[in-house]
Amino acid sequence: MHRYTIILQPDTEQGGYWVTVPTLPGCVSQGDTLQDAIAHAQEAIALYLETLTARGEPIPEETEHPQAIVVDVAA
C-alpha cells in the first residue's frame, strides 16, 4: 500500500477538477465531481506505479506530505 498527496484544482472553464500528484511527475487526471476526480486519481496512480514496476524502476515514496495554504495579500 502506498500513500500519495493529490492536488485538486477546480476547472473554472469546463467544470470539474484537474488532479496532479506532486510526488509522481506527469501523473495527472480529472473528474467531473470531487468523488470522480479522486477515483480517477487513484486509477492513474495505480497505472503509473504499474508502469514503473514493469520498467524495473523504483516506486517513489512520499515521506513528507505537501501542504496547500491560502493566504491573503494586500495589493
Spell out the residues 6+ positions from residue 62 whose beta carbon is closer than 8 angstroms to its own. 2, 3, 4, 5, 23
| Residue-wise pLDDT tens digits, 8-57 | 999 999 999 999 999 999 999 999 999 999 999 999 999 999 999 999 99
Q: How many residues does the chain have?
A: 75
Beta strands in 1-75 (DSSP E): 7-10, 17-20, 28-31
- pLDDT class for 68, splitting at 50, 70, 90? confident
Domain formed by 1-75, architecture: 2-Layer Sandwich (3.30)
The pLDDT assigned to 66 comes to 86
For the chain, how are helix, strand and coil distributed in percent, rounded to 5? 30, 15, 55
Residue ranges of the domains in the chain? 1-75
- pLDDT class for 67, splitting at 50, 70, 90? confident
* Cβ count near 60 (within 10 Å): 16
Beta bridge partners of 9: 18
35 vs 66, more confident = 35
The pLDDT assigned to 5 comes to 96
